[in-house]
Amino acid sequence: MSDLKLDAEGLYLELKRGVQRLLTPDTALVGIWSGGAWLAERLAADLDVASGVISSALHRDDFGSRGLAKADHTTLPFDVNGRDILLIDDVLYTGRTTRAVINELFDFGRPASVQLAVLVDRGGRQLPIEPAYSAARVTLSKEQSLRLVRDEAGAFSFEVK
Amino acid sequence: MLSKRNPQLNKHGELIHLLSIEGLPRAVIEQILDTAGSFLSVNDREVKKVPLLRGKSVFNLFFENSTRTRTTFEIAAKRLSADVINLDIARSSTAKGETLLDTVANLSAMHADMFVVRHSESGAPHLIAQHCAPHVHVVNAGDGRHAHPTQGLLDMYTIRHFKQDFRNLTVAIVGDIVHSRVARSDIHALNILGVPEIRAVGPKTLVPGDLRDMGVRVCHDMAEGVKDADVIIMLRLQNERMNGGMLPSSGEFFKHFGLTPDKLRLAKPDAIVMHPGPINRGVEIASEVADGKSSVILPQVTFGIAVRMAVMAILAGNEA
């Protein structure tokens, strides 16, 4: 699949339209560290919505085999209780990271609802998790990895390995 | 298998026991400090607990009494969701004549995952680390005069928090350095993190000249020792460890080496004052200083829990 061409900037505009349709007066965007956090930061500025960053590190199910993930903080500068939380991620794959951040989120309070919007859904789910919106769906083999990168100017692109 | 070189690291260079700061790579120390930073914010959550050590048993083995250190380890382990078992070893098995290794073998058979060890003999945690089951991690909570690595790390966290960069600091450690495992751990850590000037300050009986071999400047005069310092670490005068003859009296010590507002003025205006506790007011530190604006003694206690959480979480995630 080395010929895979994904236009991250184009997909971002799609994501922005999708997210706009999901907004309620109580929505807060929560970007999953790291790629999702970049997206949430830009979406929050473009759509004028509250946003925060969430890390899966303290709730990962592979802690026993992989150890503690690189230190990164969850920062939610608003009260989670009663909010409509819209999780934002760059790539949705097994669903395990989403599960971990939902647990992390509930350590801060009880949101009214939790939804997920992603730039790319690459299939391969290992948990019953579905996004409310995905800008693209692609099929990749297990050996391939796909992640968002951000250059110094803040422009998005995809790295496929 | 334990590596011959450094029994604290596995073959990938990851931390599996914390026995001493000596010989730890700088990257490992920085990983611990960075991780502690993310644990500090757990206190702000509605649920002040994370599940990293869920289902793991942490045994606090205190062969020497220390309510404070034991309590901070207990809080740290509980915030990581571990089951914590406190054993007052000094008054149980050892009193009945059981050897250290027999005690450890018995506790391992109770499915311990981590031992937090304090012992009056230097090297006891090393011995335990060499003989425990491969999945068990050992944390040294103070052994004899040798090391108190988690105190050293929380001191480094405190310095980094208030001063950001280690590379242009002058750090003065004042007091009973010869008996102090805290001083030894601090000196190793400060050297590894690149502090250019480390001073050991105190009377000749408590600050021997051979400390120079550890890369410190030895000062027997308090004014010289604290002059232009960015960080002053006061140590407790360890009465229970002093076998007479080293000091005329604690009053005499305070007169020469106690940290008073006058002596603090010789340091940089934004200097911070640290102390591992418990403090002896009027013996090594004046109340005005201990309670003053330069004092970061209570933040040290708060950071200590986050640092101990970081150490335990990192160890638990690494395999021998």
Q: What is the DSSP string of B38-100?
A: HHHGGGGSSS----TTTT-EEEEEESS--HHHHHHHHHHHHHTT-EEEEE-GGGTTGGGT--H
Q: How many other CB atoms are there within 10 angstroms of residue B88's CB atom?
A: 14
Cα B57 to Cα A116: distance, rounded to the nearest angstrom: 36
Q: Mean pLDDT for chain A?
A: 93
Q: What is the ipTM of this complex?
A: 0.81
DSSP 8-state assignment for residue A69: P
pLDDT interval class at A72 (50, 70, 90)? confident
| Backbone φ/ψ region at B83: left (φ over 0), alpha (ψ -120 to 50), beta | beta
Pick the range with the lowest mean pLDDT from A33-42, A56-65, B70-79, B296-305.
A56-65
Residue A84 has pLDDT above 50, yes or no: yes
Cα A102 to Cα B253: distance, rounded to the nearest angstrom: 57
Q: Which residues of A touch B47 (CB under 8 A)?
A: 106-108
Cα B129 to Cα B16: distance, rounded to the nearest angstrom: 10
Q: Tokens standing for A109?
A: 């309070």
State the average pLDDT over residues A131-158.
94
Residue B244 has pLDDT above 80, yes or no: no
pLDDT, residue B186, reads: 98
Bridge partners of A137? Answer: A121
H helices within chain A, ranges in order? 8-22, 35-47, 63-66, 96-106
Cα A7 to Cα A92: distance, rounded to the nearest angstrom: 17
State the average pLDDT over residues A4-28.
94
Q: Looking at the complex, does the CB of residue A78 fall below 8 Å from at least one CB of chain B? A: no
In Å, how far is A104's CA from the nearest CA of chain B? 9
Contact B317 A57 (CB under 8 A): no
- Give the residue from A34, A63, A75 with the most B CB atoms within 10 Å of its CB, the best one to mutate: A63
Cα B31 to Cα B9: distance, rounded to the nearest angstrom: 14
Among B2-6, B139-143, B177-181, B316-320, top mean pLDDT goes to B139-143
Query: Phi/psi at B117 (nearest 5 deg)?
Result: -115, 125
Cis peptide before A34 (omega within 30 of 0): yes
Quick check: helix, strand or coil at residue A117? Answer: strand
- Give the residue from B50, B113, B307 with the most A CB atoms within 10 Å of its CB, the best one to mutate: B50
pLDDT, residue B2, reads: 44
State the average pLDDT over residues B297-320.
95
Residue B219 has pLDDT above 80, yes or no: yes
Contact B14 A106 (CB under 8 A): no
Number of inter-chain CB pairs under 8 A, A vs B:
45
H helices within B133-179, ranges in order? 149-163
In Å, how far is A75's CA from the nearest CA of chain B? 9
Q: Tokens standing for B20?
A: 């001493």
Helix (H) or strand (E) holding B129, with range, is helix B124-131
CA B206 and chain centroid, separation: 19
Give percent of chain B with pLDDT exceeding 90: 77
Contact A58 B35 (CB under 8 A): no
**Which residue from B38, B47, B317 is facing A107, i.e. has the nearest CB?**
B47
| CA nearest to B317 within chain A | A67
Residue B27 has pLDDT above 90, yes or no: yes
State the average pLDDT over residues A101-124.
97
Residue A3 has pLDDT above 80, yes or no: no
Q: Tokens standing for B248?
A: 């005329």
Q: Mean pLDDT for chain B?
A: 92
CA B246 and chain centroid, separation: 24
Closest CA to B68 of B136, B146, B154: B154
Residue-wise pLDDT tens digits, B59-111: 999 998 888 899 999 999 999 999 999 987 776 666 677 888 888 888 889 99
Cα B218 to Cα B183: distance, rounded to the nearest angstrom: 13
Q: Which residues of B touch A63 (CB under 8 A)?
A: 52, 316-317
Burial code (b: 16+ CB inside 10 Å, e: under 16) for A50-88 equals ebbbbbbbbbbeebeeebbbebbebebeeebeebbbbbb
Q: Which residues of B touch A (CB under 8 A)?
A: 14, 31, 34-35, 37-38, 41-42, 45-47, 49-52, 313-314, 316-318
Residues with Cβ within 8 Å of A45's Cβ and at least 6 positions away in sequence, in order, are: none
Contact B50 A108 (CB under 8 A): no
Quick check: helix, strand or coil at residue B151? Answer: helix
Q: Which residues of B touch A76 (CB under 8 A)?
A: none
**Which residue from A63, A71, A106 is facing B38, i.e. has the nearest CB?**
A71
- Give the residue from A33, A65, A66, A68 with the most B CB atoms within 10 Å of its CB, the best one to mutate: A68
Residue A133 has pLDDT above 80, yes or no: yes
Residue A52 has pLDDT above 80, yes or no: yes
Q: Looking at the complex, does the CB of residue A99 fall below 8 Å from at least one CB of chain B? A: no
Residues with Cβ within 8 Å of A17's Cβ and at least 6 positions away in sequence, in order, are: none
Q: Which residues of B touch A103 (CB under 8 A)?
A: 51
| CA nearest to B51 within chain A | A59
pTM of the model: 0.90
Cα B221 to Cα B244: distance, rounded to the nearest angstrom: 22
Contact B45 A108 (CB under 8 A): yes
Q: Looking at the complex, does the CB of residue A64 fall below 8 Å from at least one CB of chain B? A: yes
Residue-wise pLDDT tens digits, B102-153: 888 888 899 999 999 999 999 999 999 999 999 999 999 999 999 999 999 9
